[in-house]
């Protein structure tokens, strides 16, 4: 089996997700049942949505490479989400 290495930086991470916003301080706990598994931590800083599974996997690879903790959940409304404290460049300075 061959291994493929893909290089993605923070800017490239931005092209993987379809939507993002602050997670902490928003009333997400009221919608927790739409996610599988249901999130246990509502203190993550950001949520990122992914339409394509391949984009989700590449984003997870990036976060693992930079040692940024995260959790993955499917979303009954829109694909998958990643919860993390990593701030994509568009969130830096906000």
User: For 28-48, how does the pLDDT look when each residue is reduced to its tens digit (9 = 90+)?
Assistant: 999 999 999 999 989 999 999
Per the confidence metrics, is the pTM higher than 0.75?
Answer: yes
Q: Which residues pair with 46 in a beta bridge?
A: 22, 84
Token digits for 29? 């706990």
Q: How far apart are CA 81 and CA 14, in angstroms?
A: 14
Which has the closest alpha carbon to 63: 79, 44, 78, 76?
44
8-state DSSP, 29 = G
What is the pLDDT confidence band of residue 8, given thresholds at 50, 70 and 90?
very high
At 6 the pLDDT is 86
């Amino acid at each position: 089996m061959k291994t493929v290495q893909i290089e993605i930086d923070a800017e490239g991470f931005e092209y993987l997700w379809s939507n993002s916003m602050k997670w902490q301080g928003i009333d997400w706990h009221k919608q927790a049942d739409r996610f599988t598994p249901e999130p246990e931590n509502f203190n993550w800083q950001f949520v990122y949505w992914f339409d394509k599974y391949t984009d989700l996997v590449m984003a997870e690879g990036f976060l693992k490479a930079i040692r940024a903790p995260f959790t993955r959940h499917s979303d009954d409304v829109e694909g998958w989400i990643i919860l993390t404290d990593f701030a994509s460049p568009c969130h830096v300075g906000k």
